[in-house]
Structure 1
Amino acid sequence: MNFAQLLFPDFSLILCGYLICRFTALNRPLWQQVETLVYFFLFPVLLFHSILKSPIDLNAASSLIGAGVCLGLCAIALSYSLPYWPLLGKRLDKRDHAASAQVAFRFNSFIALALADRLAGPEGLLMISMLIGVCVPLFNVGAVWPMARHANSSFLRELVRNPLIIATCSGLIGNLLGFRIPDWLDPSISRIGAASLALGLMAAGAGMQLGTLRQGKLLGLSVLSIKHLLLPLVALGMSHVFHLGSAQTTVLLAFSALPTASTCYVLAARMGYNGPYVAGLVTLSTLSGMLSLPFALGVLR
């Protein structure tokens, strides 16, 4: 499988946003409005639709779901623990850590869906959809908590009014209740989702300032190492603990090695944190996925 070809569309959109913002009249004020549109409307529709469109059988996939949730909890714990590591913790900016911790455990759901389809066909799509439905709410809560805590704002208030968490939780509930998007409405919602993907990635590129990565190299290296090196190893261990079959193990390994979500930048920027730094990490994570996916699916599998 050509992983570079799979990841190139995301990276090219990030680069496109960066170049447009830097070298045309479509500069930062415009892209700030785009970020608002993506965060409050386009991405919530995308997440709701992605989770809702594939039926989830919790009983049939309990082992895979358990492994995915445990993998996610391990990733969140590792990311949160960075300030407490000997020698490392004192050298990290706590505010930048609060914004970038999410990079270590969130994932790009569209790459996940495309990869699962190539790896295992319809069965793989169903399995990755179940992981998305269960893990996205967990990861969004994990992303919001450190930023809400460092901003001295109410964590529950941030959760209740966070459009990404509202969309994912309502999508999961609707899926379990058997709700489906009507056929006549599905094409329109799909196009909104496609627009959110393109604009979200371009907004991440527009907000990126590569110079900010030089100021937090150690933090960035730590977060990306968790995401692209440690998590595939943890996923392999979880596949043995939960006695997963071959197809389930393949999907879990792919899930663990995915690039981080482009919405990391949007969430950090909307909550008043260092968005350009997080956007740089999103770009590096997309590039790192070209190494971690072959490592997980080639070496470990």
Structure 2
Amino acid sequence: MNYAQLLFPDFSLILLGYLLCRFTPLNRSVWQGAEALVYYLLFPVLLFHSIVKSPLDWAATSSLIAAGVSAGLAGIALAYSLPWWPGLRGKVQIRDHASCAQIAFRFNSFIGLALADRLAGAQGLFFISVLIGFCVPLFNIAAVWPMAREGQQSFAGQLVRNPLIVATALGLAANLLGFRLPEWLEPPVSRIGAASIALGLMSAGAGMQFGLLAQAKRLSAAVLAIRHLIQPLLALAAIHVFGLQAQQALILLLFSALPTASTCYVLAARMGYNGPYVAGLVTLSTFLGVLSLPYALALVPAP
């Protein structure tokens, strides 16, 4: 499978946003409004729709959910512990760490859905949708907490005001209650989702400043190492602990090596943190996905 070709649409949209912001009248004042639209409307609609459209089957997916959540929690713990790692102790700006820790454990669900469909068809889509439904709210909460704490903001207040968390929580509740969108609503909701992907990636490109990465090289390397090197190993351990077989093991390893979420940039910027720094990490993570995806899939246990 050509991962570079699969990831090219994300690269191109990030690059387009960067070029438009730097070399056209569509400058930062334009993109600030676009970021707000993505954060408060487009992405929440997409997340809600992606969760409610696939019914959850607890009996078939309980081990997969447990493995995915366990590997994710281990990744979150590693990301939180970075300021105490050898070589980073005393050399990490706390606000930079608060904003970029999310890079280490969040994921690009759109790329994941596309890959799962190619690798395992309808069953693969079902398995990764289950992981997305349970991990998105957990990982978003974990992303908000260090920024709320460092910014001396109310954590509970940030959660209830965070549209991404509210949308995923409502989506899970609606799914468990058996709610489905009426057919006449599917086309406009799907188009809103497509718009959110494009605008979110272009906004990340518009806010990108690679020069800021050089100011925190060790921290940047550490969060990307967790995302692309360590997370697949955590997933492999979870596969053995929970006894996952065949396609569930394949999908969990795929899930573990995805590039980070493009909404990392939007969340950091909307909470008053260094958005351009996070945007640069999002771009690097997307590039690294070309390497980490085949690496992770090579770890799939033999049947």
- In which range does the TM-score fall when normalised by the shorter chain? over 0.9
After the TM superposition, which residues 201-240 of structure 1 pair with which residues of structure 2 at under 5 Å, given as runs? Answer: 201-240=201-240
2: CA distance, partners of 1:45 / 1:217: 35
What's the CA shift for 1:60?
Answer: 1.5
After the TM superposition, which residues 246-261 of structure 1 pair with which residues of structure 2 at under 5 Å, given as runs? Answer: 246-261=246-261
After the TM superposition, which residues 114-193 of structure 1 pair with which residues of structure 2 at under 5 Å, given as runs? Answer: 114-193=114-193
What's the CA shift for 1:281?
Answer: 0.1
- Secondary structure of the corresponding residue to residue 60 of structure 2: coil
After the TM superposition, which residues 31-110 of structure 1 pair with which residues of structure 2 at under 5 Å, given as runs? Answer: 31-110=31-110
- Secondary structure of the corresponding residue to residue 180 of structure 1: coil
What's the CA shift for 1:299?
Answer: 4.8
CA RMSD of aligned residues (A): 0.8
What's the CA shift for 1:68?
Answer: 0.3
1: CA distance, partners of 2:253 / 2:299: 11
1: CA distance, partners of 2:158 / 2:59: 32
What residue identity is the alignment partner of 1:121? G
Contact 2:46/2:192 (CA < 8 Å) preserved in 1? Answer: yes
What's the CA shift for 1:182?
Answer: 0.6
Structure 1 runs (4+) greater than 4 angstroms displaced: none
2: CA distance, partners of 1:224 / 1:130: 25
What's the CA shift for 1:87?
Answer: 2.9
What residue identity is the alignment partner of 1:261? A
What residue identity is the alignment partner of 2:89? G
For normalisation by structure 2, the TM-score amounts to 0.98
What's the CA shift for 1:140?
Answer: 0.3
What residue identity is the alignment partner of 2:167? A
What's the CA shift for 1:298?
Answer: 2.5
Q: Percent identical across equivalent pairs?
A: 69
2: CA distance, partners of 1:201 / 1:94: 26
Count of matched residue pairs: 301
Give a deviation string over 1:142-161, Cα, whole Å, max 9, x none.
00000000000100000011
- Secondary structure of the corresponding residue to residue 56 of structure 2: coil
Matched, 1:297 2:297: yes
Matched, 1:22 2:22: yes
Contact 2:250/2:300 (CA < 8 Å) preserved in 1? Answer: no
What's the CA shift for 1:38?
Answer: 0.5
What's the CA shift for 1:300?
Answer: 5.0
What's the CA shift for 1:86?
Answer: 2.7
Matched, 1:286 2:254: no
2: CA distance, partners of 1:299 / 1:239: 11
2: CA distance, partners of 1:206 / 1:264: 14
For normalisation by structure 1, the TM-score amounts to 0.99
What's the CA shift for 1:59?
Answer: 2.1
2: CA distance, partners of 1:92 / 1:138: 25
What residue identity is the alignment partner of 1:105? F
- 1:4 aligns with 4
- 1:112 aligns with 112
What's the CA shift for 1:88?
Answer: 1.5
2: CA distance, partners of 1:201 / 1:239: 32
What residue identity is the alignment partner of 2:192? I
What's the CA shift for 1:202?
Answer: 0.1
1: CA distance, partners of 2:40 / 2:299: 40
Give a deviation string over 1:106-151, Cα, whole Å, max 9, x none.
0001001001101110000000000000000000000000000000
1: CA distance, partners of 2:142 / 2:172: 17
After the TM superposition, which residues 264-275 of structure 1 pair with which residues of structure 2 at under 5 Å, given as runs? Answer: 264-275=264-275
- 1:13 aligns with 13
2: CA distance, partners of 1:77 / 1:268: 19
Unaligned runs of 5+ in 1: none
- Secondary structure of the corresponding residue to residue 198 of structure 1: helix
- 1:263 aligns with 263
